[in-house]
A and B are shown apart, each in its own frame.
Chain A
């Protein structure tokens, strides 16, 4: 193996040298050609991905942007209606605003809930020294299966009128409640479901915690810092880049949530859990207004982009990178 490698590297090294002494301009050209050829081979190798990217991602994105200016019910062909979809959305669609409010509330509560929960669990796991693998796996499991239909169906059973949660309450002699049937509590069952799937954020936090040098804690302990102080003065500041990453991912995630509101409550009761994406789905696939649905998708894109930009913008104020000079 080793001699072969050196041979290879030698030949590569030699090739430009010899050329350079003769005709510098030509060398430049031929090298360009060669790299073009190598690029093409490279492109051929990644063509499965490229085809996917162009046909399944870019083309639909561009097409949906076009559709957002049309009226299109799938059966016929799209008719151009200009900005009508957008004006109708903002001026003449109560449900649009209701679903928007619900989504902001949902994401606004569920995302911090999941992040705090994930951080607390990560802190606890960081302290455990035995059987870490087992705990980590068990705690991560809900996230692996979490986005699935099965979990949503389980959630529905769990919080149903005759569900396990009510039986448990009854066992303790506490009053039972129609959790999914009451418009005030239904959204909370979805928020708890979101919080419960904290696994991936937790793993990232855990990795972040492991990266903080132990010496900082030892040094601060010598100086008499208590654990609480250590947490706020050392752990949290050093964790901020990880928090930023998790926050951006989860905000995007939270605004795009669909499965729970579709399966667990189907938007009910009284449309109190119709998240934005569910409403978009209903417009597009239940009332066959593809144009309107596409327009909604673009509004959502702008909102998520704006929020992400906002988070990044503010990050200068609270995110500390190691080795940063201030």
Chain B
């Protein structure tokens, strides 16, 4: 009797330990097969998991969009999982390792999409587009291409985005500086910033964020960040980066631009200098104009980044993409939701330009009469950039995050005066070669 009990107890412990330790990989895959027939029926109760990153306003808007979808499709329930951008891809990577990615995943263009593509974690959506489940009629090819990798459509853009020079009209007028337009040059930018600093005693600009702006700076002069195969930098002459560093360093030294001791204190849109009237300029993505304007409590304007060839430098970027991971058991339903997001005007009425400007002309037109002032400016800006831009570069290598971090780290060293711009430019090439050759 006792022996039996002992055996029993040990068995229980053993199974408990085993079941707790074993990964869910096998069971998930088995489930995958079993669930396939269900997918076809459509009326079956389906629960989709959906994840995104963003700010609180995006969380609220997306929840409202989900509620709307659930109302229209009572058989679908969507479980949201959201965080800020920090930590989002860490979380996704952990879920990928557990074969537990959500059904609908907000994906980022560039190295992230490339990484997920390389690992074949995402579903090719071509099938759903051909079937008509996802209607992309009228979306320009260049935009669709940004979600394509190696001939597979891995993400549907949520909307378009572009870098923008955001400026505070009042401040510039008060300092007697002519307002910038799409034809302004880097010299105009420097002159304007210096004059504002001199006249108003505030900063003349925000220190430029190197990760995005230097790429633009290169493109504007006819170069690329990375070579075609992604194994080297896309420019040969270190003078380019040296000039970029030198331009910023000069402004930091003269007090026109703040140094990193100030930049470091900015922890969110609410802390930005332009929000507090401490700087008239801020160069960043166009979908953030809304957030900046509402934090500032005044209407901010936007125009193209400076440079004579800014049509070469400017590009349209998918603000983010919707992807369906391969592990999803309800791909069809997930595709339907993406279609809803893309084609339902109410989605954009709720969300505004927060996930970029709507891809479809007819939605943009239908929305035009009721747009908020900010959204109207952003929509106009995107059409301006559409006319004056060249295609986005998608050949970012998987380790480009580290390369761009090195660029930012060296930017910091140069601005603190620990390195000259010339040394910085050389150091960046050295670091990049090291990272890319790994």
Which A residues are closer than 8 A to B by beta carbons? 33-34, 36-37, 40-41, 43-44, 47, 50-51, 54-55, 59, 73-76, 88, 92, 160-162, 178, 180-183, 265-266, 268-271, 285-288
Contacts and interface: CB of A to CB of B under 8 A. Distances in A.
A161 B265 contact: yes
A54 B10 contact: no
A188 B260 CA distance: 18
Given A33-B3, A55-B21, 10 more contacts: A40-B5, A51-B16, A73-B115, A178-B262, A181-B264, A269-B260, A269-B261, A269-B412, A270-B409, A288-B93
Contact of B20 (A37, A55, A75): A55
B402 interface: yes
Chain B interface SS verdict (over half): helix
Nearest to A30: B2
A269 B13 contact: no
A86 to B, nearest CB: 15
Nearest to A265: B264
A161 B6 CA distance: 66
A287 B180 CA distance: 38
A75 B94 contact: no
A23 to B, nearest CB: 18
A211 B401 CA distance: 56
A50 B93 contact: no
B21 A74 contact: no
Given A41-B9, A92-B434, A75 B261 contact: no
B316 to A, nearest CB: 27
B90 interface: yes
A287 to B, nearest CB: 5
17 contacts: A37-B6, A40-B5, A40-B10, A44-B9, A47-B12, A73-B115, A74-B96, A74-B97, A75-B93, A75-B121, A92-B434, A161-B261, A180-B261, A180-B264, A181-B264, A271-B409, A286-B90
A95 B412 CA distance: 15
Contacts of B119: 73, 75-76
A37 B264 contact: no
Q: Which 10 A-B pairs have the closest CB atoms?
A: A181-B261, A74-B93, A178-B261, A75-B119, A74-B97, A285-B90, A40-B9, A55-B21, A40-B6, A76-B119
B157 to A, nearest CB: 22
Contact of B17 (A54, A92, A271): A54
Given A73-B115, A270-B418, A51 B260 contact: no
A92 B265 CA distance: 32
A47 B6 contact: no
Contact of B412 (A33, A92, A182, A270): A270
B269 interface: no
Contact of A287 (B13, B20, B261, B399): B399
Contacts of B405: 286-287
A162 B264 CA distance: 13
B255 interface: no
B230 interface: no
Nearest to A48: B16
A33 B93 contact: no
A287 B402 contact: yes
B259 interface: yes
Contacts of A37: 2, 5-6
A44 B17 CA distance: 11
A269 B259 CA distance: 11
Nearest to A269: B260
A162 B260 CA distance: 15
Contact of B416 (A40, A43, A269): A269
A182 B261 contact: yes
B413 interface: yes
B103 to A, nearest CB: 18
B2 A54 contact: no
Contacts of B5: 37, 40
Contacts of B259: 181
Contact of A51 (B3, B17, B96, B261): B17
B285 interface: no
A268 B264 contact: yes
B116 interface: yes
Interface in B419-435: 434
Given A181-B260, A181-B265, A47 B13 contact: yes
Q: Which of A54, A59, A76 has the most CB of B within 10 A?
A: A76
Nearest to B96: A75
A30 B185 CA distance: 94
Nearest to A88: B438
Contacts of A34: 2
Interface string B251-266: 0000000011110110
